[in-house]
Structure 1
Amino acid sequence: MTSRAAAADRTAGPRPRRTLQLLADRDFGGLFWGKLVSIVGIWAFSVATAIAVFDATGSTLAVGVVAGAQFVPQLVLAPASGSWADRGDPRRQIVLGRILCLAGTGALAAWVHLAAPTGWTLAGGVLVGSLTVGLGFAVGGPAMQSVVPRLVTRDELPRAMGLNTAPMTVARVTGPVVGAALVAAVGPAAGIGVAALGQLVFLVLLGVVRIPAAAPRDRDTDYSIRAAWQHVRADKGLLLLLLVVTGVTFGAEPSITLAPALAADMGGGPALVGALTATFGGGAAAGLLVLSWFGRPERTVTMVAVGLGALTGGMALAAALGWVAAALTGFAIAGAGFTIGLTSLSTAVLLRVPEHLRGRVMAFWMICFVGFRPVASALVGTVSDAASARWAIAATVVVTAVATAAVVRYRALVRR
């Protein structure tokens, strides 16, 4: 079957496929399972390298630098990568991105195992490996996001985008456990090496995925980054949606950056930190179920508002009450809101953007979501050090509350 015939079959389907049907689909399912294995490996890599660098240097700053190195290439190169996705071959781009991730993780694992570096030498090698992994995500990320609408029908898109978020949610919970366990049982090289294995599995699965061809390119169409930015600026609704993505980034940051400080404020230790993080992840998984039941194209903006409202309310509960039960409940509600809000935002953006702009606009989406994470973590960390973790969470609540109000306003304008 040709790629265009496969696309026609999807369009002609009498009813949207359910979740299990999408997961079993050769094309969408292949991409989904490949992403899941790959991202679990990357989270394991992040934890394994953090443990190794801290043990080698005793420096929290060094850990922060090597962790942040993954985001630098995405912040700098994502727009150019998005332009490439719109004018080139997305499969080739995704493959190249995975090869870069495989090279960064595999070479680092082999070096750590064979050379057994110590001290700042180890930290320097991890920095290079993290930059290479970040480069891989910067190259392949926009293409991977932009091809999802080609694999499903319009009516299936909300459910597909929910599933597209699932690997990140699952990996956030399981990846750190895998990485820490391997470091403890075998050593850091094993924790890093499992990430390389994940990239290799993804490349194998990607080999069976059929990505339908895009519409023929119009020679008069401008495929530059500047043209995409002009489109975003002219479409105030699209610009607002991208800004709201930044709000979601701030709203979710306490689940990572502030969990240790919040646990300490409540008299807890590492077990409570793990409980807070796992509860947020469990809520995020529950949010995927909500989207599978209620996600429809016509409800997308409403679900954005619902998700942001839950993210705001959950974190407000955790900030307002200094009880462990309240914090766990708040993190669970916020986790569900995070998944509902972020997934629905992604769907709203894709539904609003013409096909020839999807790669570049999703690159802007990546900058708003991933690129602003270092900024968000630095700001909430500063507030936490100056005041307390609960005040820092309250600051993120203000940001998400403003974002929620903006979405409600946007929804009212769309209905007119």
Structure 2
Amino acid sequence: MNIFRSLRYRNFKLFFYGQSVSLIGTWMQKTAVSWLVYRLTGSAVLLGVVGFVSLIPSLILSPYAGSFIDRHNRFRLLVVTQVISMVQAGALAALVFFGYYNIPLIILLSLVQGIINAFDVTCRQSLMVEMVDNKDDLPNAIALNSTMTNFARIAGPAVAGIILSTLGEDICFFINFFSYLPVLMCLSMMRLHTPAKPSSNDIWTELKEGFHYVSGNRNLSSLIIMLTISSLFVIPFNTLMPIFAKDLFSGTAKTFSWFESAAGAGSVISAIYLANLKKGKNLIKIMIAAGIVFGASVMFLAYSKHLPVALLFMTLTGVGMMAQTSVINTYIQTHAVPAMRARAISYYVMAYQGMVPVGSLLAGLLAGAIGPRRTVFIEGAIGLIATIVYVVYRNKVAGKVFTIKSLVPVERLKAYFKNAA
């Protein structure tokens, strides 16, 4: 099976190439902002605040964004969000270039980017199905998109670490600003017809319809709840990685970039595996296995004493987190009815990105009270418990008896590695 089969579609290929460049710049900026704030303030709480304001709009605005996008031309909206993102990146680059290290203003610009992302991410995800002519290739396109995102997560922080330690933070921000040019050029070359879909209902009625559809679908709602718990209590462990790099391992900006790149490497490994899956095959079992890997690796990371060991478990966190979030995304996109797809995806974005800022703030506050290692350990434990509860719930709905073997598809994993060998 060709892992790159989705790239034969012109629109998806252009989208893929343009976003590949832009996302590297985005991760460079993300790494530089986290390092800059912690370098200037030394505050774990402010690290949490920056993460909070950059993603909290997704919690508040995503359901509205889903209904709004369903009523308008999604492609044009995507172009608008990219242009505004470029302006925001330019403002942040100018701020740092002129040495105006104003933390409240940096937080404000992070909030602006968060508002943009609430619409941009939902818009991009809902357009995915329009870029792939053969819908059987949609899971492959989603997995390749995730691979691209997580490759950027490797390359962006790695390059940022070098630039931060040699040329300074402002270069990272300028690179992100110019990285929007390729994506805008690729968007201008795409041939995508996504007309607006006027509705006789007001947007608040459609908001209610979207909520009733998602909450009334037991499979969709349980997956979104699972993702909500993970995003609130487990994924925010990453907020504390500057503390691990700088204080616990006595490192520099380059050390911090290694942590981000390790997680990105794990994510790429996971995404490549998912890209080779047939449509809808074993999605739920993969999600359960991913939840176990994610929670356990975060717990082991918390008390790793040596940097190579910590980076190994950081890589495994990337494997688990990527598989968990990508499988849930794929399931929603392939099982939601077309009329409700954008609204269903908006709840995915709300659960994924919207809860992370709340969790980041909680992680920062808890780390300030009990220390970063204990905080990260607790987050991993919550991830494991949530996965077990999800398995028990599914078995109860299906009338099955809960067993430890049901947590991991052992026989399928054995067969997979046997075939691989």
Q: TM-score range by the shorter chain?
A: 0.7 to 0.9
Q: 1:315, 1:394 within 8 Å by CA — same for their partners in 2? A: yes
Q: Which moved more, 1:49-58 or 1:355-364?
A: 49-58
The residue aligned with 1:4 is none
Give the C-alpha shift of residue 55 in structure 1.
Answer: 6.0
Q: 2:72, 2:198 within 8 Å by CA — same for their partners in 1? A: no
The residue aligned with 1:313 is 296
Q: SS where residue 294 of structure 1 aligns? A: coil
2: CA distance, partners of 1:263 / 1:238:
40
Q: Which moved more, 1:241-250 or 1:125-134?
A: 125-134
2: CA distance, partners of 1:395 / 1:224:
38
2: CA distance, partners of 1:71 / 1:278:
21
The residue aligned with 2:110 is 130
Q: SS where residue 297 of structure 1 aligns? A: coil
AA aligned to 2:27 is W
Indicate which of 226, 237, 248 corresponds to 2:208: 226
Q: SS where residue 67 of structure 2 aligns? A: helix
Cα 1:384–1:220 change in 2 (3 A) is closer
TM value normalised by structure 2: 0.81
The residue aligned with 2:413 is none
1: CA distance, partners of 2:12 / 2:157:
26
Give matches, 1:235-250, under 5 Å: 235-249=217-231, 250=233
The residue aligned with 2:131 is 151
The residue aligned with 1:178 is 159
The residue aligned with 1:43 is 27
Indicate which of 219, 240, 250 corresponds to 1:257: 240
Indicate which of 70, 74, 78 corresponds to 1:94: 78
Q: 1:237, 1:410 within 8 Å by CA — same for their partners in 2? A: no
AA aligned to 2:220 is L
2: CA distance, partners of 1:380 / 1:64:
7
Give the C-alpha shift of residue 34 in structure 1.
Answer: 2.2
The residue aligned with 1:22 is 6
Q: 1:304, 1:340 within 8 Å by CA — same for their partners in 2? A: yes
Q: 1:241, 1:345 within 8 Å by CA — same for their partners in 2? A: yes
1:200 and 2:153 are equivalent in the alignment: no
Give the C-alpha shift of residue 345 in structure 1.
Answer: 0.7
Cα 1:415–1:197 change in 2 (3 A) is farther
1: CA distance, partners of 2:278 / 2:242:
30
The residue aligned with 2:406 is none
Cα 1:237–1:323 change in 2 (3 A) is same
AA aligned to 1:205 is C
Q: SS where residue 287 of structure 2 aligns? A: helix
2: CA distance, partners of 1:200 / 1:293:
31
Q: 1:287, 1:336 within 8 Å by CA — same for their partners in 2? A: yes
Q: 1:73, 1:138 within 8 Å by CA — same for their partners in 2? A: yes
Unaligned runs of 5+ in 1: 1-16
Give the C-alpha shift of residue 346 in structure 1.
Answer: 0.5
Q: 2:6, 2:141 within 8 Å by CA — same for their partners in 1? A: yes
Unaligned runs of 5+ in 2: 401-421
Cα 1:325–1:176 change in 2 (3 A) is closer
Q: 1:57, 1:119 within 8 Å by CA — same for their partners in 2? A: no
1: CA distance, partners of 2:82 / 2:157:
20
Give the C-alpha shift of residue 336 in structure 1.
Answer: 1.0
Q: SS where residue 380 of structure 2 aligns? A: helix
Cα 1:403–1:207 change in 2 (3 A) is farther
RMSD: 3.2
1:77 and 2:61 are equivalent in the alignment: yes
Give the C-alpha shift of residue 166 in structure 1.
Answer: 2.1
2: CA distance, partners of 1:94 / 1:189:
27
Give the C-alpha shift of residue 396 in structure 1.
Answer: 1.8
How many residues in Structure 1 have an aligned counterpart in Structure 2? 395
1:350 and 2:341 are equivalent in the alignment: no
Query: Percent identity over the alignment?
Result: 22
TM value normalised by structure 1: 0.82
Cα 1:20–1:233 change in 2 (3 A) is closer
The residue aligned with 2:320 is 337
2: CA distance, partners of 1:117 / 1:318:
36
Give matches, 1:379-390, under 5 Å: 379-390=362-373
